Protein backbone atom coordinates (compact mmCIF):
# COMPACT_ATOMS: atom_id res chain seq x y z
CA UNK A 1 0.00 0.00 0.00
CA UNK A 2 1.21 3.46 -0.67
CA UNK A 3 0.95 6.50 1.56
CA UNK A 4 -1.31 9.14 0.09
CA UNK A 5 -2.54 12.45 1.38
CA UNK A 6 -4.40 13.31 -1.82
CA UNK A 7 -7.85 14.74 -2.44
CA UNK A 8 -9.71 11.57 -1.41
CA UNK A 9 -8.38 11.86 2.12
CA UNK A 10 -9.16 15.54 2.61
CA UNK A 11 -12.67 15.10 4.07
CA UNK A 12 -11.27 12.80 6.77
CA UNK A 13 -8.45 15.19 7.61
CA UNK A 14 -10.90 18.07 7.87
CA UNK A 15 -12.82 16.23 10.62
CA UNK A 16 -9.81 15.30 12.73
CA UNK A 17 -8.52 17.32 15.61
CA UNK A 18 -4.75 16.92 15.62
CA UNK A 19 -1.90 18.46 17.50
CA UNK A 20 1.71 18.96 16.50
CA UNK A 21 2.66 15.40 17.42
CA UNK A 22 0.08 13.69 15.21
CA UNK A 23 0.77 12.59 11.67
CA UNK A 24 -2.07 11.05 9.68
CA UNK A 25 -1.11 8.84 6.77
CA UNK A 26 -3.59 7.39 4.32
CA UNK A 27 -2.64 4.02 2.86
CA UNK A 28 -3.88 2.90 -0.54
CA UNK A 29 -3.73 -0.29 -2.58
CA UNK A 30 -1.08 0.06 -5.28
CA UNK A 31 -1.32 -1.20 -8.88
CA UNK A 32 1.63 -3.49 -8.11
CA UNK A 33 -0.30 -5.09 -5.23
CA UNK A 34 -3.35 -5.57 -7.46
CA UNK A 35 -1.16 -7.39 -10.00
CA UNK A 36 0.94 -9.37 -7.49
CA UNK A 37 -2.03 -10.60 -5.45
CA UNK A 38 -4.51 -10.88 -8.31
CA UNK A 39 -6.94 -8.58 -6.49
CA UNK A 40 -10.42 -7.95 -7.84
CA UNK A 41 -11.03 -4.61 -9.50
CA UNK A 42 -14.16 -2.70 -10.47
CA UNK A 43 -14.87 0.52 -12.32
CA UNK A 44 -15.24 3.54 -10.03
CA UNK A 45 -18.79 4.39 -9.02
CA UNK A 46 -20.27 7.25 -10.99
CA UNK A 47 -21.01 9.00 -7.68
CA UNK A 48 -17.38 8.79 -6.50
CA UNK A 49 -15.91 12.30 -6.78
CA UNK A 50 -12.46 11.42 -5.48
CA UNK A 51 -9.55 12.15 -7.77
CA UNK A 52 -7.34 9.22 -8.79
CA UNK A 53 -5.48 7.92 -11.80
CA UNK A 54 -6.64 4.76 -13.52
CA UNK A 55 -9.89 3.27 -14.66
CA UNK A 56 -10.47 0.69 -11.93
CA UNK A 57 -10.73 0.62 -8.15
CA UNK A 58 -9.76 -2.05 -5.64
CA UNK A 59 -11.00 -2.36 -2.07
CA UNK A 60 -8.34 -2.78 0.62
CA UNK A 61 -10.55 -5.56 1.98
CA UNK A 62 -9.64 -7.58 -1.13
CA UNK A 63 -6.18 -8.10 0.38
CA UNK A 64 -6.06 -11.27 2.50
CA UNK A 65 -6.51 -10.33 6.20
CA UNK A 66 -3.10 -11.59 7.31
CA UNK A 67 -1.36 -9.67 4.53
CA UNK A 68 -3.39 -6.50 5.17
CA UNK A 69 -2.63 -6.73 8.88
CA UNK A 70 1.10 -6.97 8.17
CA UNK A 71 0.96 -4.03 5.73
CA UNK A 72 -0.73 -1.86 8.36
CA UNK A 73 1.62 -3.05 11.11
CA UNK A 74 4.66 -2.28 8.92
CA UNK A 75 3.26 1.16 8.07
CA UNK A 76 2.85 1.96 11.77
CA UNK A 77 6.19 0.64 12.97
CA UNK A 78 8.12 2.24 10.10
CA UNK A 79 6.91 5.63 11.31
CA UNK A 80 7.90 5.08 14.94
CA UNK A 81 11.22 5.87 16.51
CA UNK A 82 12.80 2.43 17.13
CA UNK A 83 14.26 3.43 20.51
CA UNK A 84 10.97 4.86 21.77
CA UNK A 85 9.11 1.80 20.48
CA UNK A 86 11.51 -0.55 22.28
CA UNK A 87 11.15 1.44 25.51
CA UNK A 88 7.35 1.36 25.27
CA UNK A 89 7.32 -2.38 24.62
CA UNK A 90 9.51 -2.90 27.69
CA UNK A 91 7.17 -0.80 29.83
CA UNK A 92 4.17 -2.66 28.42
CA UNK A 93 5.73 -6.02 29.31
CA UNK A 94 6.35 -4.94 32.91
CA UNK A 95 2.81 -3.59 33.25
CA UNK A 96 1.32 -6.74 31.68
CA UNK A 97 3.24 -8.95 34.11
CA UNK A 98 2.02 -6.84 37.02
CA UNK A 99 -1.58 -7.09 35.86
CA UNK A 100 -1.32 -10.86 35.41
CA UNK A 101 0.08 -11.21 38.90
CA UNK A 102 -2.61 -8.93 40.31
CA UNK A 103 -5.38 -10.90 38.55
CA UNK A 104 -3.92 -14.22 39.74
CA UNK A 105 -4.19 -12.95 43.30
CA UNK A 106 -7.90 -12.11 42.80
CA UNK A 107 -7.20 -8.43 42.34
> What is the reported pLDDT for 5?
44
- The whole-model pTM stands at 0.60
Q: 57: helix, coil or strand?
A: strand
20 — pLDDT class (breaks 50, 70, 90): low
6 — pLDDT class (breaks 50, 70, 90): very low
Amino acid sequence: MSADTGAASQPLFGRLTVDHRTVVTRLAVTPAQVAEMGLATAPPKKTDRRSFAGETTTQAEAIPPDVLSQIVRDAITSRQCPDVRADMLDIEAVERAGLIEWAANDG
